Amino acid sequence: VPLMDILDRLQGGFYSQVVWRPAKRWRTGVRLEGLFNFYTQENGTDAHMPGTLLESSAMLEFNPSEFSRFRLQYAYSHMHFNSDGKRIPVHALIFEVNISVGAHGAHPF
């Protein structure tokens, strides 16, 4: 009995992102990412793996000053599966706040 299963996998993927700055303190963007399973074997036997896994997202960002940033992002994913192996769509909403405190060199904002 082997102590470890051998998994042989050839994968490829991509991501593409576009960010636009319509005004000095605002940014908006979209992103698409994917993972592809081209070849998968487990212990020398072809293993069933999902073919294409995709996720897309959109974001809106506001920078009221050089010391703070507010970002709202929505993501929709096809990368998750239930116990039966069926895809589960996942929706995520993220609100991020970044605040910088401390000394730093002078620069234009």
Task: Tell me the average pLDDT across 9-31.
Answer: 92
25-43: per-residue pLDDT in tens? 999 999 999 887 766 666 7
- Other C-beta atoms closer than 10 Å to the C-beta of 47 total 14
Q: What is the three-class DSSP state of 94? A: strand
pLDDT tens, 39-66? 666 676 766 666 678 899 999 999 998 8
Contact assessment for residue 73 and residue 64, using Cβ atoms and an 8 Å cutoff = no
Q: How confident is the model at residue 107 (pLDDT cuts 50, 70, 90)?
A: low
pLDDT of residue 60: 98
- For 64-106, what is each residue's pLDDT tens digit? 988 899 999 999 998 777 777 778 889 999 999 999 887 766 6
76 and 93 in contact (C-beta within 8 Å)?
no
Which two structure tokens, joined as six digits, stand for 24?
Answer: 């000095």
φ and ψ at residue 25, rounded to 5 degrees: -105, 5
Q: Are 91 and 83 contacting, i.e. CB atoms less than 8 angstroms apart?
A: no
- Residue 2 predicted with pLDDT over 70: no
| C-alpha–C-alpha distance, residues 41 and 99, integer Å | 47
pLDDT at 27: 97
